[in-house]
Structures are given as C-alpha cells and as structure tokens.
C-alpha cells in the first residue's frame, strides 16, 4: 500500500505542475497550432483536429510513465 501512495502523490504533483504551467499561459502560442494539425474552415463551418499536438502529448506522457515505472 505504501508504493501506491507514493505513485498517487507524484501523480498529483505532476498534475498540479501541468495545471500551473497551463494556467500561467505557457504554450498558448503553439499548443494546437503545430505543423500537421488539421484545420479546415468553409463558410460558417470550422473543424480543428490537433493530431500532431496529440501525438506529442502522448509521447511525453509515455516517457514520463516509463521513467516513473523504473
């Protein structure tokens, strides 16, 4: 049970740190606007899918979970 508590504590710290960084506005200019993100608009219809941003976020989270698993 002690190990689960450590993991939950560190996960909470990571979530809080990410929240503070996003709250301060870091990444406002590039998150969702990377090359390869799909944006289509025609008339009053607009579609935005940040595929590259999702892949980058997935890579970062995978590396973090891999590091904490060791």
| Total domains, the chain | 1
The C-alpha atoms of residue 12 and residue 19 are separated, in whole angstroms, by: 10
Instruction: Quote the Cα angle for 57-11-59, to 5°.
Output: 20
* Within a domain: 70: yes
* Within a domain: 7: no
Averaged pLDDT for residues 5-34:
81
Domain housing 42:
25-70
Task: Report the chain's mean pLDDT, rounded to a whole number.
Answer: 85
Is the per-residue pLDDT at 45 higher than 80? yes
* Within a domain: 12: no
* Within a domain: 19: no
* Within a domain: 8: no
Angle between helices 2-23 and 51-69 (to 10 degrees): 150
* Within a domain: 63: yes
Is the per-residue pLDDT at 42 higher than 90? yes
């Amino acid at each position: 049970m002690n190990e689960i508590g450590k993991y939950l504590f560190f996960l909470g710290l990571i979530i809080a740190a990410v929240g503070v960084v996003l709250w301060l506005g870091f990444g406002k200019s590039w998150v969702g606007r990377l090359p390869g993100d799909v944006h289509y608009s025609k008339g009053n219809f607009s579609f935005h899918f940040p595929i590259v941003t999702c892949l980058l976020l997935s890579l970062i989270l995978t590396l973090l979970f891999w590091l904490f698993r060791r």
